[in-house]
A and B are shown apart, each in its own frame.
Chain A
Amino acid sequence: MAREKIHVGLEIGTTKVCAVVAECRRDGEVRLLGVGESPSRGVRKGEIVDFQNASNCVHDALSDAEERSDHEIKSVWLAVTGSHIESSNHRRSVTIEGGGEITEKEIEDIASKDKEVSLPKDNDILHSILQQYYVDGREGVIDPIGIGGSKLEADYHIIHGVVNRIQSTIRCVRKIGIDVEDVVVNSVASAHTILDDQKKASGVVVIDIGGGVTDYIVYENGAVRQSGVIAIGGDHITNDLCIGLRIPITRAEKLKIEEGSAFLENLSGTEKITLKNDTGFSGKEIDRSMLNLIIHSRLHELFGILRNRIQEVVPIHLLGSGIILTGGCSLIKGVREVAESVFEVPVHFAHAQSITGPTSAFDNPQLSTCIGLVKYAHAVDADAPQESFLNRFISSITRKLHLI
């Protein structure tokens, strides 16, 4: 079977490294070929702290993916996250020369003004996302080419991060001989999986609660309004349980996955959970009310911080599509109810859309970032100028002529 353009998305997460191989067809469909996973070591809060270990895990995940997809991976699209990633909104403007009609030149000029954004010294721009154009102060222009005016302005959402910290993630992949096509911020990638244009237009927040960090991105009127990273994730819940219930960290993790719940209602107060004994652990009985309280307070606080940050930019109740939760932590029971009580808007879970393939993996919220990477790559391909058949023919002839 002949395959079309294949993209690989790689996420080095705090709990696991995950690689998705997918075929991107010209008709816009993305077909999943294989998913490779490996438990992650040496990553804390989304960033690499133990280079060698992390690199081994990346290697494991990629070879797993190669095996499953029967495709030799040469390069990947890499998701990055970490508390150093920040964002801001900027407006920039150009004066329209000539006959007062906006041409592609002005659009290019305004897009190339990234350098003028003032950033902290160590930071560099990861994404520069167009929000909207203004022509002579008139709002909401979507495609200004051909419109007449004297001044073109544009709002951009800039996502930036500390260069060195991003590079260490890239180096971790390059070290095992795999090329990195580009880096994409987690939240941007997740949004590609989860959101369609209709949701973006009506306004939505995507909250991706991962193992080490929580990424979020806010869309309003079809454009990114805000995005960011909070270095709180599932690890924190595990750690809270470990400290609060005085159990080993591995048991805490297991308890969180098997019994974890954030419901505070309908608790009798006497219900116990029995932990079986194990080597080096003599077994223990735990109050369910305590377990739920610890998880609830952590999630409640996290959503509270997010609410405050989002409220700075947009009133949450105006976001028509509400909140969408994804990431491994969204699997905890009751997380949606906690989120609804904090945000006071409908909260949904994400389901990866319009991707077809042999596995059911894409329904798994833990993969939304990786699939998003592939979709992002696909979207970049689609934007890139397509060489027509004639051009390719001509250029191949000229090459041959040069050889003679």
Chain B
Amino acid sequence: MTEIEANAIAARHADVFHRPLMERLRGVIIITAIALYMVFAWWFFAIGQVISNGNWDIAGSYLADWVSYEIRPDIEYDGDALDVSFPRFSPLGSDPRPEWLTTETAMVERRVAASAAAGNATGGATSGAGFLGSLDAEPAKKEDGGFLGAMAPSSTTTESPGTEAEAAPQAPATTREEAVVSADISFGGDTHIRVQPGFVTVTHRGETLELDIEERVSVNARGPLPEWASQRAPGAKVIVRFGFAGRAEIEDDEVKVRRRFIGWENFFFDTRSPYWDMSAGEVLGTIFFGDRIEADRSNLSLAWNNFVNNADWQHGDVWLKLLQTIVMAFAGTVLASMLAFPLAFAAARNIMPNRVVNQVLKRFFDFLRSVDMLIWALFFTRAFGPGPLAGISAIFFTDTGTFGKLYSEALENIDDKQREGVRSVGAAPASVQRYGVVPQVLPVFLSQALYFWESNTRSATIIGAVGAGGIGLKLWEAMRTNQDWENVAYMVILILLVVFVFDNISNLLRQRLIGRQP
């Protein structure tokens, strides 16, 4: 192409090659405006500040909690001996002896009165307070109370009157008894911690950290700290982090170990169940061939009962709440489409000739739709109390408006020939609608109802959290306590499953109703 030809083309299409300035700059202006608005939003919501103040340390642990759990033994120094204790609701049951924690015992002299007092001070780090309790002693800027104030600074070491104190002789005397003198905690691979009275060795990635403990006074490292260990001040506690495998805090009076394992702990049976800690084969064997564990019922019924009432996972309750959410979406959508159906006929201009009725009904639909589902949900929660009734009512009110609008628009767009045909043979007005209008719009109506049924299943989850019941409320409660993230993951998976199944059912039904759509 020569230059002359190119110029000729440019001259013929002047509107393409010489556009007005505004038109050429429009893209730049729009992008600049959006960028400026984003800068404004950054300032308006203080996004940078909020993100930098975020508790990202905790975020990692929360995310890890979705698919894993921690076991948290505490090893307390007690003179020449050690005291290994587990939280009261440990996932390992009441008497845990994990193989990754090995102890050596020896005969040592102990002052009995002191040991009684010290022995009770441990064991308090219940699973209820454990995870955050271990953190609240850390940097002061971490505002744990930020999340709806659910996490009051928890007392990790609750002093509970133990039975040992009463049983022990009151006179301070020294006795010789068998006690733990050394504990070795393995974190997998070459990583392990060896705790001895007054001396702790941590080995990780080929490096060894040796720490001298002066009981209840200070923790001092021999040599420089490796990069996986940190200490805020000389003599203060040392925190060692091993990534996903866990962490440990070496304090001047105890070593707090947090060992993380992948998986959902005690998903089927909790520690109180006789089936706890059995393999799948053993459980099946016990159910079908074993002797009755409880005389008055079969093993199968006991297993089912233990599973449904699992204290950690609350399967029964979660399923019930999920069913509530499904029912909320289903009943709300069906009721709304049933009410909107006749009203839409009255709102459609071409069916009801009365303009006043049309307009009043259309504005009524707009009102129902525009008063948000949230407002209806809060309103009915106050009226009916928390539960699915409030959710059904909220979905019913909002969707009556939505369906009314959609249906009346569909009615106004129908083909009039069919109606004329029915009318011309002398049919009554009701028959004209029945045979001239309904067959045209019914598939559209049903397919829209199915669309909203599926989308309401999602909405019902959200409005549940403000009090309208169902799985939303349960999810919200689990998140608020900040330590049941594995339960949140479980519920999310159930919700995703239900939404996925309903999506497919609704697509299938719609395809059958209105034929395959592109």
Q: Do A and B bind each other?
A: no
Contacts from A to B (Cβ < 8 Å):
none
